[in-house]
Structure 1
Amino acid sequence: MKLLLVVDNHLIRTPDGKVWSKGIYDYSFFSRYLAAFEKVNVAIRIKDVKKEYNGYPNLCSGPGVNFLPIPDFYGIKGYLKNYISVKRAIKKYSEDCDCAIVRIPSAIGFQFASKLRLIKPLGLEVVVDPWDFAAPKMLKSKFRPFIRVLWTYKLKKLCKEVNGVAYVTQFALQERYPSYVHLHGESKKYFTSYYSSANIKEDFYMNPKVYNQKKKKFQIIHVANAINSFVKGHKELIEAISILKDKDIELSVKFVGDGELIPHFEEYAKSLEVENRINFVGRIPDRESMKQELRESDLFVFPTHGEGLPRVLIEAMAVGLPCISTNINGIPELLKEEFMVEVGDVESLAQKIEKLTSNPQLLTEASKASVEKAQQYKEDILQIRRKEFYSQLKNLASTN
């Protein structure tokens, strides 16, 4: 049984035919679908290169996983220019599969899903809320309002039409984008599930941290692989650090990730005279180094504007970091109210940071709570629900 998996990302292919990633994707991600299917064909944007790229360290190729290239374009203009090429890819790739799963939302994802739902058993994996992702001031595109309205409409429509929908949240995304099952009930033809995209194995977890009463300087960490928009709250965190600096609180922030907006945020930090407290360290590609960077920090702060259920937040919790984030989408499923702020509320963000860093006992308790909550997102636990969802789609395909 062959699965067509549609993913929105950018990979490279080296002359030896191997495919590589610089983000969250690697072979372990794609091979999880082999729990139910004999072969997985991955349709994704791929760029052929003539030599190995150091910036793409994660090997995606492996047994049972085959990559089907989509042109490697960027942005709405690039998508429109390659629309016909994507349309041809849909026709070609759909002929060699028994069913499909589309990770959504994305322009490519919507185009594939709209066609595939008419010809193959189809499942969606809903990973982000487009209404929040494309909120005002979040994307550097004049098409942002159009993207927000269109993607929200399309996602609502598709969730009601396709056979299976799996959400990264337990409740949040389901309420805004209900599936056929939520509206009419489950059957062999229509089914739903929820599971995180996180891939956190047992050896990533650590014991809770114990904070020293005499500690005066604190290291905050923020992680976002792509720093190409305002969605992840870099601006708000820089502003909060400026407020706390005026109160003589010793804090520094380590921003992990790379992207075109780094110079903009560095200039913004300079304009607020906190550039010496802000450090952009680039992308950390391997999990062990990321684990060490997280553990060596004191607090994870993630004032995001749009998520499903953020993997980076769960990873920070798994290594024992107290966490502050925004009260949006699935984040309330991870954090208590005392550790959340409303989107864009910089004053409250600064107050939450101040409250935690001035109370080592509270930090220690929050660290313990983080580890306990993150236990629910271990890979072996999530994979049970994933396999059940995949199997329902496979069984449907076998009867068609």
Structure 2
Amino acid sequence: MRVVVSSDSRYARTPDGRVWTWQVPDYPVWRRYLTAFDKVRVVARVCDQPEVSADALRVDGEGVEVWPLPYYIGPWQYLRCRSSIIDVLADASGPTDAVIVRVPSFLGSHLARIRRQRRLPYAAEVVADPYDVLAPGVLQPPLRPLLRHRCTARLRHECRTAVGVSYVTESYLQARYPCAPGAPTAAISSIDLVDDAFVPAPRSIVRQPAEAVLMSAGTMEQLYKGIDTLIEALARLRAAGLDVRLVHLGTGRLQHQLEKLVADRGVIDRVTFAGWIQPGAPLRAKLDEADLFVMPSRTEGLPRALLDAMARALPAIGTNVGGIPELLPAEDLVDPDDPAALASAIAAMLAAPERMAAASARNLSRARQFSRTCLDPRRTAFYQAVRDATASRTACHAG
């Protein structure tokens, strides 16, 4: 049986037909589905390019193909090619295919609706919470309150009508978006950490660093990662006399806006925008340079960047949103959009070497629960349950 999986990713295709990306999900992610399915078709936006850079990651490969959707960026481009997108989605899956939609997502929701209209089954992977993503101060699209209500209601309906649902959190998303009674469900992070992701032992921290390196990571396409809040907190720390600097990993169209904020707050010599860092050894080496990881997000599912940092035994401060409280204890959490509280939490952590050492050990231990060894059996079991449920429903439909 083939599985068709929707993705919000944007990929590049070279003239040889190969498909590429510069960040996950890449081929190793899509290959996971082959543990239960014979073939994988990834439905995603694809842009033709004459060539790609040497650091590009392969998306397609043995057992995995990409079904290209019209390439768009942002809601206005989406609206202009919406009818073409729906036409391509309608042809992406057949009656004997299993379908897994990664939601919330316009593309995933369209594909789920097509399957319901055809009285065919689909499963869902819930990777984020639209209620939080569309909260005040996170994203500001036109008609935000209406979109928040509609997207939340739609995701609830998609979960109730799916033949199986997996969630990236352990309980947070499950409570808001329950599946149908009796449907197979699983708490499976989309992240699985390979053995090399982990340091062998916690950090030995006996004194406060002379110059503390704070590190954050995430897209700057929108402000939901809260990097502006962290910059405000950094300015407060510097004003209080703490010798700290910030390194942010990631790219995005709002970088210039954040750079202006850095200049306005007088910390231009204290902030480095390091750009995109390739996953694997380059990212691990960068994380190892930090003293404290900070995740000031306004919304999250279960953040990979935080887990990557925890696997390097980094102490961390995060916000009390989404799945972050499932990873960090209450004493390491603050409310979002509160620079004063964030600055206070960072200062308190840096001033307590024993607390830093304890956080290092605790974070490393927690991250090990997201190792490939731990997650692969649960993921395979869920995929097999989706395959069985699809075969059963398809047989009933055919009959």
TM-score tier by shorter-chain length is: over 0.9
Alignment of 1:210-225 (within 5 A): 210-213=204-207, 215-224=209-218
- How far did 1:117 drift? 3.3
| Residues 269-298 of structure 1: CA deviation (Å, up to 9, x unaligned) | 111111111111100123111011111111
AA at the equivalent of 2:211: K
Which consecutive residues of structure 2, in runs of 5 or more, have no partner in the other structure? none
Q: Percent identity?
A: 33
- How far did 1:140 drift? 5.0
Corresponding position: 1:170 with 2:164: no
- SS of equivalent to 2:358: helix
| Residue equivalent to 1:359 | 352
- How far did 1:149 drift? 2.2
- How far did 1:52 drift? 2.2
- SS of equivalent to 1:240: helix
Alignment of 1:21-100 (within 5 A): 21-54=21-54, 57-95=56-94, 98-100=97-99
> Structure 2 CA distance, aligned partners of 1:295 and 1:53?
26
AA at the equivalent of 2:349: L
> Structure 2 CA distance, aligned partners of 1:97 and 1:371?
43
The 1:150–1:53 alpha-carbon spacing in structure 2 relative to 1, beyond 3 Å, is farther
Q: 1:382 aligns with which of 352, 365, 375?
A: 375
| Residue equivalent to 2:106 | 107
Alignment of 1:194-343 (within 5 A): 194-206=187-199, 207-213=201-207, 215-224=209-218, 226-343=219-336
> Structure 1 CA distance, aligned partners of 2:320 and 2:208?
31
Is contact 1:58–1:285 with CA below 8 Å preserved after alignment? no
- How far did 1:329 drift? 1.7
> Structure 2 CA distance, aligned partners of 1:91 and 1:176?
29
AA at the equivalent of 1:210: S
Alignment of 1:171-186 (within 5 A): 171-181=171-181, 186=182
TM-align CA RMSD: 1.4
Which consecutive residues of structure 1, in runs of 5 or more, have no partner in the other structure? none
- How far did 1:53 drift? 3.4
Is contact 2:163–2:390 with CA below 8 Å preserved after alignment? no
| Residue equivalent to 1:132 | 132
- How far did 1:397 drift? 2.3
The 1:236–1:97 alpha-carbon spacing in structure 2 relative to 1, beyond 3 Å, is farther
- SS of equivalent to 1:93: coil
Q: TM-score, normalised by structure 2?
A: 0.95
| Residues 227-279 of structure 1: CA deviation (Å, up to 9, x unaligned) | 11110010110011011111100111111001110010010011111111111
Is contact 1:100–1:120 with CA below 8 Å preserved after alignment? no
> Structure 2 CA distance, aligned partners of 1:176 and 1:283?
33
> Structure 2 CA distance, aligned partners of 1:92 and 1:380?
36
Q: TM-score, normalised by structure 1?
A: 0.95
The 1:50–1:97 alpha-carbon spacing in structure 2 relative to 1, beyond 3 Å, is farther
> Structure 2 CA distance, aligned partners of 1:4 and 1:120?
13
Is contact 2:245–2:270 with CA below 8 Å preserved after alignment? yes
The 1:358–1:13 alpha-carbon spacing in structure 2 relative to 1, beyond 3 Å, is same
AA at the equivalent of 2:43: A
AA at the equivalent of 1:228: E
Is contact 2:36–2:383 with CA below 8 Å preserved after alignment? yes
- SS of equivalent to 1:40: strand
Is contact 1:29–1:199 with CA below 8 Å preserved after alignment? no
- SS of equivalent to 2:92: helix
AA at the equivalent of 2:68: P
> Structure 2 CA distance, aligned partners of 1:397 and 1:265?
47
| Residues 84-104 of structure 1: CA deviation (Å, up to 9, x unaligned) | 112111221122751100111
Is contact 1:127–1:308 with CA below 8 Å preserved after alignment? yes
> Structure 2 CA distance, aligned partners of 1:129 and 1:237?
22
Is contact 1:322–1:363 with CA below 8 Å preserved after alignment? yes
Is contact 2:208–2:352 with CA below 8 Å preserved after alignment? no
- How far did 1:165 drift? 0.9
Is contact 1:322–1:366 with CA below 8 Å preserved after alignment? yes
AA at the equivalent of 1:311: R
Is contact 1:5–1:41 with CA below 8 Å preserved after alignment? yes
- How far did 1:398 drift? 2.3
AA at the equivalent of 2:376: Q
> Structure 1 CA distance, aligned partners of 2:275 and 2:83?
35
Is contact 2:23–2:279 with CA below 8 Å preserved after alignment? no
AA at the equivalent of 2:224: V
AA at the equivalent of 1:282: G
Is contact 2:208–2:351 with CA below 8 Å preserved after alignment? no
AA at the equivalent of 2:12: I
Aligned length: 391
